[in-house]
Every structure is written in C-alpha cells, then in structure tokens.
Chain A
Amino acid sequence: MTISASASGAAQGMTVVARTQGQMVRRRFFRHRAALIGMFAFGFVILLAFSSIGFGPIPGWWDKTYLTTGSLVNQGRPTLSVVPEFLGGEGIHLGEHPFGQDNIGIDYFALTMRGAQQSIIVAFIVAIVATSVGTLAGAFAGYFRKKTESFIMRLTDVMITIPILIIAAIVGRTFGDSGIVILAICIGLVTWPMLGRLVRGEFLSLREKEFVEAARAVGTSASRIIFRHVLPNTVGVIIVSATLAVANAVLLESALSFLGVGVQPPDVSLGQLIDTYRSAMTTRPWLFWWPGVFIIAIALSINFIGDGLRDAFDPRQTRVRA
C-alpha cells in the first residue's frame, strides 16, 4: 500500500496523500477504540430495546409484554444466569423472567425495554430540539452581532441563572402529563442556552483562529483552508455537543422522572422505574439494578461516541506515540 501510494504520488509530482476532511474524520473516528465499542454497545441497546418487545404496531420477539401481569415466580427473582455449571453456577440461560418480575408480576425485562425505548426517544428529541435552537441562536448571535447578539445573550443569561435541572423540572411538571414527545420538546426548548453560547463562541473565534496557520504550514491553499477546515469545524463542534447532549438528556430525563416530574404513568422510562421501585431496594434490588444499568450503558456509550467524534473533528489531533 505504501509503495503504490508513493509511486502514484511521485507520478503526480507530489506525495501529499490528499484526503478529504470527511475521510480523515471517519478514519480518526474508527481508530478510536472506545468510540467504536461505544457505538457497538449503543447500537446493541437500541436493537435490543426496539426489537425485543416491538414498537407501536410492530411486534417483537419477546413473548411477554410490559402490560400483562402474571403470577410471581420465586418472588420475582431474575432467572438470568451467566455462571456456567462447571463453575458451580446454574449454567448460562435466560429463563422465564431474565430480569425478574415486579410486585404485580409484570415481566421486568419487557418493562425495562419499554423504559429504555421511551428514555432513548425522549433523549433524542431533547437533544435535537436543544441543538437546533442552540445552533440557530448561537449562529445568529455570532453572525449578526449588535442587537441580535445582545438580545440572545441576555436571554441565555437569564436561562443560565436557573440550573438546568430546576427549569427542566418546572417544565416537566407542567407538561409531563401531555405525553413524552411534548415533554421532550419542552425540555429541549429550555436547555439550549449552553449550546447556543458554545456555537456563538465558535463563530466568533473561527475568524481569528490559529489552526489556519497550521494548515498553511502543511501547504494548504487559502480556499481549501476556508472551505475544508473552517467550515467543517463548526459542524464538528455542533455534532459533538449534540451527541453529548443526548447523553446528558438521558441522565436529565431519568433524574426528572426520579423526582416525579418527568415521564408520567402510563408511560414508563428508566428513571421512572427506579423512582417507582426505590422502596423495594432492600428487598428486591433487581428492580433497581436493571434500569440503572441501562441508563449507565446508554450514557456511557454515547459519551464514548462523543469523545471519539471530538477527537476525530479536532484538527490538532495528530497524536505522537510515546
């Protein structure tokens, strides 16, 4: 590969291997091992949550639903076993109720999957709304300056004085009963200011940024600097913060539901499950463990993806191996 690259390079009269920004970003991302694992894990969780119990009219492969109650088997203990028999365990099997049952005999796997679905949907809507509004506001403020800027900035000042959890809780209390989509949109509408500031800062600094000089140092032409380096750079910041916003939204939603001001019954979410069963902690800890594990798995994998994206988009990233 090296030979052909250098040979063709010599033929063209230069050996700079020209890669587009997109190719470089993709390459750097796929080299980020944690990000790959994160992407794989997140894909698995989504697949599991939506295929197991189905979504809307589409049926899933799991034979129990999150609504049907049943008789308690072995006090609702989880039947999932991962310890093989030769290690003194029960062998690897799922069993009837891998995650156990709640106090009225609902299959807890189905319930957790339902909660994961709803939490993921809420998180994505929150992140998309907050990112769009934040990007627009930030871009307007950074581009038009003067009155638009000071108006938007004062607005974000007001919003930033209120901790995100507080304003989201108030909004959640108001719109929690209207279903998860409305709830998510409303939370998105009050959590954009930090992102807006970020985008504005990016717009302002991009003009005077010094990586332009770095690009010049490796022999990049002016138009290429502007179109291939400066412009995608804002996109990078936006994509990265949008990704991290999804992770934060998962955590925010679960915290709100835990406080009782988020997703309301009959909808379920991971945070709401923990809230519902928090008193069962001492007697039936699995009701508490599973949703928690899924919240962490989702948030962690998205955070890793976000980190991978940040590394991939950051033009300063040419790591020197020590």
Chain B
Amino acid sequence: MIAFIVRRLVTSFFVLLAATMVIFGLTSIAGDPLADLRELPGADGERRMADRIERMHLDDPVWLRYLNWLTGLFRGYLGVNRDGQDVGVMLGDALSATLQLVLAATVLAVVIGVCVGIISALRQYSSFDYGVTLAAFVCFSLPLFWVAVMLKQYIAISFNDWLRDPAIPPTVIVVLALIAGLIWAAIAIGDRKVKLIAFGAGAAITAVILTLLSVTGWFADPGIGLIGLAILAGGTAVGLSMLISGLQYRGPLYAALAAAGLGVLLSEILTPVLADPSWAEIFGLALATVIICIALGYGLGGLLRQQAITGAVLTGLITGGLIFVDRLLQSFASYSDMVRGRPISTIGAGTPNFKGDFWQTNLDSAGHLLLPSMALVLISLATYTRYSRSSMLEVMNLDYVRTARAKGLPERTVITKHAFRNGMIPITTLMAVDFASVIGGAVVTENVFGWQGMGTLFTTGLQQVDPAPVMAFFIVSGTAIVVFNMLADIVYAYLDPRIRLS
C-alpha cells in the first residue's frame, strides 16, 4: 500500500512536471503579453513596457523563463503576475472558494447520480427509466455556461422575489402534485391498479405538504421542527433497516430506531451547545454519534450484529445531518433580514464583510454555493446516472448474481451485497475522470457567477498571456486531480480484491 502510494507519487510528479512544461510553453506563446501597453502613447507606455519586460523576463527565451519559474516553485514561490502581485497571495484567497464549489458539486453528483442510476437500472424499461434516460441526455447536451446564466436569471432573481410573499399558487400546487404522482407511478412496479394507487397517494401527499407549507408561510421562516425531525429520522431508520437486513428481523430495526430516537432527543437536550457551535464541536458530535450507534447496534443486533451496527450508524449520521439542516433553516429568517431579503446570491462566493453566528455564516456560504454547484452538478449528474445505470445493468446479468439468487438470497441482498459493490467498481474510475471535467466546469461557472476563484486566476492570466497565475491554477488543480486519481485507485483496490496495490 505504502509502496504503491510512493510509486504513484513519483510517477505523478513526473507527469505533472511534463504537464507544467506543456502549459507554460503554450501559455507563453499564446499571444502578446504587452498588447495592452502598446496602445499607450509616448514615454509612459515605453517605460511601463520596459518594466513589464523586466518583471516577466520577456527578453529571456521561454525555456529559461520556465526553468526560472520551476526553481521558484521548488522554493515554494509561485512568482508574480504581470503587475507584480504575488500569485501565492492571490491563490490563497481563491483556493478555498473553488475547492468548496468543486467538492460540493462532486459529492452531490455522485450521491444523487448513483442513486438515480441504480433505481433506473432496477426498473429497466419502466417509464421512470425512460424519463431518467431522457433527462440525462438533455443534461449531457446542455452548455454549462448557458445553464448557469439561466439559473442566475430565473431561479435566483425570481426565487428571491417570491420569498417576499412565499405563498404557492394553487395551480402550481396542482401541477407539482401531478408531477410527483407521475414519478411515483413510474417507480412503482405492478399492474395498472398499483400504479394508480401510487399515483394517487404520491399526488395527494405532495399536495397536502405543499399546501401546508404555503399556508403556514414556511418558506419565510423554515425549519423541520421536532415532529418533522421525529418522522424523518424514524422513516430513515425503517427504510435503512429494510434495505440492510429486511424488516422481519427485529434486532437491526430496533437498533436503528433507537439511534433515531436518541438523536431526536439529544437535539432538544443539546440546544445550548447547538446555539452557536464551531466546526470542531460539530465533528465531535458526529464522532460521538458513531460511537454510540456502534454500541446500540452491538447491543441490540443479536445474530445480525453486523447489519445492525451499519444500520444504526447510518441512521445516527443521517439524523445528525437532519438536525444540522434544521438548525440552518431556523436561522434562515434572521439571515434573510441581514442580506436585505435576497438569500440566494448570484455574485461571488460570500457576502462581503458578512458577520453572523455559526449558522448564519454557513447559510451565507450555502446561499452563494447553491446556484453554481447546481449548474455544475447538472452536468456530472447525467454522467453518473448513465454510468451507474449501465454498470448495474451489466452486473445484474452476470453469473455470480445468478449464483446469489440460486442460493435463495432475497433480492434485496442480491442487489446490495452482490450487485452494488461490483457495480460501483467502474464508478470509481469514472470519478477520477469526471473530477477533472468538474474543475474545467468550475472555471466556466466562476466566470458566470463572478467568483474570485481559481478559475478567474486562470482566465485572466490566459487572456493577459501571463503564465504565473495560470501555472498557479494548474499546480493546484493538477495536484488535486492526481490525488483524486490516486484515491480512486485506492478505493478501487479496496472494492476489488483482485487488484493489488503494488
């Protein structure tokens, strides 16, 4: 394992080195770095040109400039841009914004994409499958920048306007309820009667929830509330137990329900801690959740101890996540006031000079992250959906899945234990490839949403034929891609015992 990492790091180092050469060379010859100064008249222009020539060593050949930059890099110095600003300092500000965006988009795309893809595969040739396939194709064909501009124009601005008086018109409720009903009918398997019931129930529940939300003005002052929390956490517990061990076994079910109940109870008891926590405290709580849930699973699991522990830990973490979201939503009203009623932001990575408590600050970044990551997710989402669908379909037809069925395993176990893990193996490779395109997409998204992120560093640098910021962008993104690739390989080897990391 360690040998593998070291070897990969060494090869990656040389690969990156070669790539920097390519990029530095191409950027340096991409145009005239003095273009903007040539138009300046007289002595001033000439003086500034001479300045820049000296600063960027334009009299030296490109390879010498590259070596110069490289030696600087090994001393941890990223050089200056054409105006003499330290690129290292510029990078520091840009880095966290972009990383947030890229990670949020990747995580969301993987989780949602894989789930939708698997359901789609298990319901092959159903209307849900066809719908998802069509949606994926549309997503594949959307230009990212166009989507971003559309989201900015229509979602953000209109949504903010709507939030002033958050009532949902009855027609919208009806339409949304019908759509929800259709989705449920498409997922349900069975004859026409089953589908009709699914349609009716789905539509009715959606309509009731939406009406309630509208009447109570929920969107102006949202929150899940204790009852909502209890219902959602309980539902999670039951759903996960059904998936992991089946409801006929009591041990795992009780363990998951206990985890959910304890979580809901603690959310009340811990109110003083949760009023304005720090990230360290949140992580501490998450850790405590895991430990307690392991104990619950161990104690209540009986013969199915392993499944009980898995179920309890997952339930505990999801309940914790729900509590987190609940707290965030609770501070929505106060946050909305602080930003003059425009919570969904269209410009930048954070409100300038924003000061608030833990929840408000996080809500602020979330509000700024929402649209760019939505745009970015949309593109990768389609890829993950398609790949996990076809991967699952392929695996479901393999001999060992048939063997698993022949053993008399319930279909649930066949899917979760035998098909899922094997189906995810190619997805790890996809993640490595997709990560690079998400970084590319981030450049475009930042451009649309006016983020001062690494993408800006790259585009401005490239436009100005200024290699230092471009290289800074590449060093970070290239390293991220290499590290991500390596992680993907490690996960791959973990999932597939036939692969040895050496």
Contact = CB atoms under 8 A, between A and B. Distances in A.
Interface of A: 34, 154, 157-167, 169-171, 173-174, 194, 247, 251, 254-255, 258-261, 271, 274, 278, 281-282, 285, 288, 292, 295-296, 299-300, 303-304, 307, 321-322
Given A173-B462, A174-B30, A260-B463, A163 B143 contact: no
Interface in B320-337: none
Contact of A170 (B26, B138, B143): B26
Chain A at the B interface: mostly helix, strand, loop or mixed?
A: helix
A170 B482 contact: no
Contacts of A164: 436-437, 440
Contacts of A292: 143, 146
A259 B443 contact: yes
A254 B143 contact: yes
B462 A170 contact: yes
A281 B477 contact: no
Nearest to A154: B15
Interface stretch (B16-24, B61-69, B161-169, B235-243): B16-24
Interface string B457-499: 0110011010000100010011001100000000000000000
Nearest to A175: B30
Chain B at the A interface: mostly helix, strand, loop or mixed?
A: helix
B146 A295 contact: yes
B447 interface: yes
Contact of A247 (B140, B458, B474): B140
Nearest to B463: A260
Interface residues of B, number: 45
A34 to B, nearest CB: 8
Given A165-B443, A274-B143, 8 more contacts: A159-B19, A161-B19, A162-B474, A163-B437, A169-B459, A169-B462, A247-B140, A299-B141
B26 A163 contact: no
Contacts of B477: 163, 166
B482 A161 contact: yes
A161 B15 contact: yes
Nearest to A170: B26
Given A161-B478, A170-B30, A258 B145 contact: yes
A271 B146 CA distance: 9
Contacts of B282: none
24 contacts: A158-B15, A161-B436, A163-B436, A163-B437, A163-B481, A166-B474, A170-B26, A171-B26, A173-B462, A173-B463, A173-B465, A174-B29, A251-B143, A254-B143, A255-B145, A258-B447, A259-B443, A271-B143, A281-B149, A281-B153, A296-B142, A299-B142, A299-B143, A307-B137
B145 A304 contact: no
